[in-house]
Chain A
Amino acid sequence: MTLRLAAGLAGLLLLSACATSTEGPNSASAKAPGSPPRSESPGDAFHSTYEPYPGVPTAIVGATIFDGEGGRIDGGTILFADGVIEAVGGRDTPIPEGTVVFDGRGKWVTPGIIDPHSHLGDYPSPGVAAHSDGNEMTGATRPEVWAEHSVWPQDPGFSRALTNGGVTTLQILPGSANLFGGRSVTLKNVPARTVQAMKFPGAPHGLKMACGENPKRVYGSRNQMPSTRMGNVALMRQTWIKAQEYKRKLEKDPKTTRDLGWETLVGAMEGKILVHNHCYRADEMAIVLDMAKEFGYKVAAFHHAVEAYKIADLLRESGTCAAMWADWWGFKMESYDGINENVALVHDAGACAMMHSDDPNGIQRLNQEAAKVLGDARRMGIAIAPETAWTWLSYNPARALGIADRTGSLKPGKMADVVLWNGDPFSVYTRPERVWIDGALLYDSANPKLRPVSDFELGQPGEGDVK
């Protein structure tokens, strides 16, 4: 790695020291990038205390840049400072005095990957029973729980997602045992003492819903409702009807006693909380879309949409994203019709396609999953440019999470969530070389001090090892 030192070595050393210290952010970086946080979710509390970590004005020159919205610049320059992207352009992009410049020749620059479906923190490593905090399996409708209250910030999985996966933002969802699983939370993938210090400022909450096998299996086995798919839908509709009642009551009397569950469902009906629906089968997704029409809410995304390719046209028409794996299939009945071209077919139909992991290992390789899709798409005659495919990894998930105006692509004014890859990120031979979040260098493969180690791993065998 060659460094052109416009700022001098001292600046770099300073950077290393600051980024690993617990000092507060410097005043320059503390300015919130992008547009100000929008109004927060209904009944919001546990506000984000995240503030960008210190960064230095940084440029990467000579790299292949995927801007995350389908754009590509070969031999391009990206410039960011004060946590914000300032310029993305060609060789002639002016670089101000005092900028740290990295040689990106032979390397790639992309927006940080956004995983719209993770359980890091609420199903952390080690996966012992004492850590099993992802499913409130005490009732099929539990909209009152919030995933952020289960997130253990010391989950070592966050650091793997950062260093191996280039993941800068992720949505943590409750599990899928319940029809209404509770609120999700969107996090910046920064090591922190508290979940509040990871919360993406101003990001809307999500509501996790689930259809299909899981709810009916969990409750059917206890001889409770739901025990069938029709039971699933009936219970969801009954619950929405009650939420409508609460909404009317609240409109009449703002002093109505607070109810965490109804607040969440009312927020979803008002579009302030985004609905993320675990649903595998095409026919069930179509039923959920009609249920959403019945109650006047919108489904932001179907997750694990293994059969999305069968109804890609319906997804396009409803403006609903599909979060998918590349090739996981057959592990349960409702995943039996999974095909490797699912993502490509959804994309090709003009619907919003995105990769997701649902897994602490898969989250380390979402770029590799997208690469698999590209190969299989090409073999069936669908040519998708790699820079276009990056929309599945950052911009589309940002849209589904309601944060696309702030991150998910490399546009001036947006958060400097940036990954420098040591080669083509769709090659199996490539890994992140450096990762910046809001312009702060939080991972540097060449610097062991810029490799976060969770409290859990401190003092254990392999502490601080390259993982």
Chain B
Amino acid sequence: MRRFLILLAALVAGAPAAAQTIAITNGRVAVGDGSPPIENGTVLIRNGRIVAAGPGISVPAGAERIDAGGRWVTPGLVAGFTQLGLGEVDGVDETNDTAAGGSPFSAGIDIAPAVNASSSVIAVTRSRGVTRAIVVPGVVRYIFGGQGALVDTGEDRQAVFAPRAFQFVELGEAGAGRAGGSRAAAFAFFRNAMLEARAYARNPNAYDGRQTNSLLMRIDAAALVPVVNGRTPLLVHVSRASDILQVIGLKREFPRLKLILVGAEEGWLVADEIARAGVPVLVSALMDLPQSFEMLAATQSNFGRLRQAGVKVALAEIALGGDTQPQNAKQSAGNLVALLKLPGAAGVDWDHALAAVTSGPAEAIGMGKDFGSLRPGRRADVVIWDGDPLELTSAPAMVWIDGVRQPLETRQTRLRDRYRELPPAELPPAYRR
């Protein structure tokens, strides 16, 4: 081990950028795994990964030192259900790649090529401390949206770091609508697709999904093979308690499915069953209205009650426009803490509320060892905040993604500065840059 470390040190010393080792010192460090914050903590970063985070960590000679000045230091936030990078302006179709109603393909769609790393939405999201996001393809044709991706919000040309990370399927009201008009048809479509995937896996050359009227085209069946084999997680959007039980029941016929529930507004009604099935859940913190008949029991206590029942649960603002405003992940987490003071509500302590928007979504998607916390080995996504990270008035003071310091200027801050002083002036605002 020691020999390895020496070798590693030599490699680092020989690398062109000495700043590859960064020590953020004197921070109130929250690791993001549910553990309490550490006063006067240090976060040590090397080659884009976390080496250590905690008290009493010695800073290697030559490391770039950043004094956090007692401020909060957390992992970058993870937005659990977004369309980040798939559109610049939602209402402008030409910029909107979230879904493809006219495409003959469904499960085979891979949204990674559509993600635009230069989108101003990514820059704005980064400036609010969100460093990674689960990006979900929208569902228009049939019940499958396609293969979703994991993205980072770093200022570079490459946003996607895990393409084809999961498959997305609608099996509630939306799924019923896409499948022809009923939930029964949606489940029939789903079973048929799984059986087709197995058929494809047995003999790809014989698969005949080549006609435009086929329910599954060749690439759709191919994309579902790792789903039915349990190598690729299946993100299932359902809300109603009975739908949740049906989805869990799918494992009887397809035992290797790696299910993740998203939405699950009525999950608290069947929390024990979800816990027994060991299925992770991504829920909204704030959805508390019966906005449809499949979420009559919606309550902000859903998260807390699921957690009390032992369900592995994290945050994703699926139904609140969170998909287009992912910068508000911390507001959702903070509201979970507010419920602690509300009689009859199930709240969440601060440490686990932070985890719900950091390590939580990463673990739900099966990538908790790669990102989402300041534990050793994770991607070095770190934020120094100018106040309590979950408070509304706070914002990031510094952000690193994969160990690289990020700019926090956005098109929005440029507009702000341009209009800070209104006319009269010598020249119109167009000359202010």
Instruction: Decide if B300 is an interface residue (CB 8 Å cutoff).
Output: yes
Q: Which of A329, A372, A379 contacts B412 (CB 8 A)?
A: A329
Instruction: Decide if B89 is an interface residue (CB 8 Å cutoff).
Output: yes
Q: Which B residues are in CB contact (< 8 Å) with A445? A: 342-343
Pick the interface stretch among B34-42, B53-61, B177-185, B389-397: B389-397
Instruction: Decide if A337 is an interface residue (CB 8 Å cutoff).
Output: yes
Q: Are B422 and A456 in contact (CB under 8 A)?
A: no
Instruction: Decide if B247 is an interface residue (CB 8 Å cutoff).
Output: no
Instruction: Decide if B291 is an interface residue (CB 8 Å cutoff).
Output: yes
Q: Which A residues are in CB contact (< 8 Å) with B91? A: 213, 331-333
Q: Which of A349, A374, A462 contacts B299 (CB 8 A)?
A: A462
Q: Which A residues are in CB contact (< 8 Å) with B399? A: none
Q: Which A residues are in CB contact (< 8 Å) with B335? A: 365, 428
> How far in angstroms is the closest Cβ of chain B from A9?
19
Q: Are A426 and B297 in contact (CB under 8 A)?
A: no
Pick the interface stretch among A30-38, A224-232, A252-260, A338-346: A338-346
Q: Which B residues are in CB contact (< 8 Å) with A431? A: 338-339, 341-342
Q: A309-B419, A333-B92 are in contact. Are A125 and B325 (CB under 8 A)?
A: no
Q: Binary interface profile of A, 360-377, with partner B (CB < 8 Å = 1, else 0)?
A: 110011001001101110
Q: Are A462 and B297 in contact (CB under 8 A)?
A: yes
Q: Are A378 and B290 in contact (CB under 8 A)?
A: no
Pick the interface stretch among B74-82, B110-118, B307-315, B326-334: B326-334
Interfacial residues of chain A within 153-181, with CB under 8 A of chain B in the complex: 156-157, 160, 164
CA distance A429 to B291 in the complex (A): 25
Q: Are A360 and B327 in contact (CB under 8 A)?
A: no
> How far in angstroms is the closest Cβ of chain B from A131?
11
CA distance A446 to B390 in the complex (A): 26
Q: Binary interface profile of B, 363-387, with partner A (CB < 8 Å = 1, else 0)?
A: 0000000000000000000000011
Instruction: Decide if A23 is an interface residue (CB 8 Å cutoff).
Output: no
Q: Are B337 and A429 in contact (CB under 8 A)?
A: yes
Q: Which residue of B lies closest to A313 (CB)?
A: B422
Q: Which residue of A lies closest to B328 (CB)?
A: A327
Q: Are B296 and A378 in contact (CB under 8 A)?
A: no
In the assembled complex, 7 residue pairs joining A and B whose CB atoms fall closer than 8 Å, in A order, are A126-B296, A329-B412, A332-B90, A340-B412, A361-B286, A361-B287, A461-B241
Q: Binary interface profile of A, 406-439, with partner B (CB < 8 Å = 1, else 0)?
A: 0000000000000000110011111100000000
Q: Are B412 and A331 in contact (CB under 8 A)?
A: no
Instruction: Decide if A295 is an interface residue (CB 8 Å cutoff).
Output: no
Q: Which residue of A lies closest to B391 (CB)?
A: A428
Instruction: Decide if A312 is an interface residue (CB 8 Å cutoff).
Output: yes
> How far in angstroms is the closest Cβ of chain B from A456?
7
CA distance A332 to B325 in the complex (A): 13
Q: Which A residues are in CB contact (< 8 Å) with B16? A: none
Interfacial residues of chain A within 24-61, with CB under 8 A of chain B in the complex: none
Q: Which B residues are in CB contact (< 8 Å) with A374? A: 393
Q: Which residue of A lies closest to B343 (CB)?
A: A446
Q: Are A372 and B297 in contact (CB under 8 A)?
A: no
Q: Which B residues are in CB contact (< 8 Å) with A349? A: 422
Q: Are A157 and B327 in contact (CB under 8 A)?
A: no
CA distance A431 to B324 in the complex (A): 26
Q: Binary interface profile of A, 292-330, with partner B (CB < 8 Å = 1, else 0)?
A: 000000000000000001111100000000000001111
Q: Are A372 and B292 in contact (CB under 8 A)?
A: no
Interfacial residues of chain A within 340-399, with CB under 8 A of chain B in the complex: 340-341, 345, 349, 359-361, 364-365, 368, 371-372, 374-376, 378-380
Q: Are B341 and A422 in contact (CB under 8 A)?
A: yes
Instruction: Decide if B415 is an interface residue (CB 8 Å cutoff).
Output: yes
Instruction: Decide if A22 is an interface residue (CB 8 Å cutoff).
Output: no
Instruction: Decide if A97 is an interface residue (CB 8 Å cutoff).
Output: no
Q: Are A378 and B393 in contact (CB under 8 A)?
A: yes
Instruction: Decide if B345 is an interface residue (CB 8 Å cutoff).
Output: yes
Q: Which B residues are in CB contact (< 8 Å) with A164? A: 288, 300
Q: Which residue of B lies closest to A371 (CB)?
A: B392
Q: Are A127 and B241 in contact (CB under 8 A)?
A: no
Report, as a range, how many residues of chain B touch the other chain: 35 or more
> How far in angstroms is the closest Cβ of chain A from B233?
28
> How far in angstroms is the closest Cβ of chain B from A255?
48
Q: Which of B89, B299, B325 contacts A328 (CB 8 A)?
A: B325
Of the candidates B88, B89, B286, the one having the most CB atoms from chain A within 10 angstroms of its own CB is B89
Q: Which A residues are in CB contact (< 8 Å) with B269? A: 461-462
Q: Are A426 and B392 in contact (CB under 8 A)?
A: yes
Q: Are A126 and B293 in contact (CB under 8 A)?
A: yes
CA distance A427 to B391 in the complex (A): 6
Q: Are B90 and A330 in contact (CB under 8 A)?
A: yes
> How far in angstroms is the closest Cβ of chain A from B167?
27
Q: Are B331 and A368 in contact (CB under 8 A)?
A: yes
Across the A-B interface, the 10 shortest Cβ-Cβ residue pairs: A428-B334, A375-B393, A332-B91, A462-B297, A371-B392, A461-B297, A466-B344, A467-B288, A339-B412, A125-B289
> How far in angstroms is the closest Cβ of chain A from B410?
9
Instruction: Decide if B2 is an interface residue (CB 8 Å cutoff).
Output: no
> How far in angstroms is the closest Cβ of chain B from A309?
5
Q: Which of B286, B413, B415 contacts A337 (CB 8 A)?
A: B415
Q: Which B residues are in CB contact (< 8 Å) with A156? A: 289-290
Q: Which A residues are in CB contact (< 8 Å) with B341? A: 422-423, 429-431
Q: Which of B297, B327, B386, B413 contacts A465 (CB 8 A)?
A: B297
Q: Are B289 and A460 in contact (CB under 8 A)?
A: no
Q: Are A160 and B393 in contact (CB under 8 A)?
A: no
Q: A313-B423, A341-B416, A376-B395 are in contact. Are A465 and B338 (CB under 8 A)?
A: no
Q: Which B residues are in CB contact (< 8 Å) with A336? A: 89
CA distance A393 to B339 in the complex (A): 23
Instruction: Decide if A128 is an interface residue (CB 8 Å cutoff).
Output: yes
Of the candidates B89, B269, B290, the one having the most CB atoms from chain A within 10 angstroms of its own CB is B290
Instruction: Decide if B433 is an interface residue (CB 8 Å cutoff).
Output: no
> How far in angstroms is the closest Cβ of chain A from B332?
9
17 more A-B contacts (CB under 8 A) besides A330-B124, A460-B296, A467-B299?
Answer: A127-B292, A330-B120, A332-B92, A345-B420, A360-B291, A368-B331, A371-B391, A375-B391, A380-B416, A427-B391, A429-B341, A445-B343, A448-B344, A461-B297, A462-B299, A465-B297, A466-B301
Instruction: Decide if B320 is an interface residue (CB 8 Å cutoff).
Output: yes
Instruction: Decide if B150 is an interface residue (CB 8 Å cutoff).
Output: no
CA distance A430 to B320 in the complex (A): 20
Q: Which B residues are in CB contact (< 8 Å) with A371? A: 391-393
Instruction: Decide if B266 is an interface residue (CB 8 Å cutoff).
Output: yes
Instruction: Decide if B22 is an interface residue (CB 8 Å cutoff).
Output: no
Q: Binary interface profile of A, 451-465, with partner B (CB < 8 Å = 1, else 0)?
A: 000001100111001
Instruction: Decide if B23 is an interface residue (CB 8 Å cutoff).
Output: no
Q: Binary interface profile of A, 245-286, with partner B (CB < 8 Å = 1, else 0)?
A: 000000000000000000000000000000000000000000
Instruction: Decide if B298 is an interface residue (CB 8 Å cutoff).
Output: yes
Q: Are A466 and B328 in contact (CB under 8 A)?
A: no
CA distance A361 to B286 in the complex (A): 8
> How far in angstroms is the closest Cβ of chain A from B335?
6
Q: Are B386 and A379 in contact (CB under 8 A)?
A: yes
Q: Which residue of B lies closest to A446 (CB)?
A: B343
Q: A331-B324, A333-B91 are in contact. Are A467 and B416 (CB under 8 A)?
A: no
Instruction: Decide if B121 is an interface residue (CB 8 Å cutoff).
Output: yes
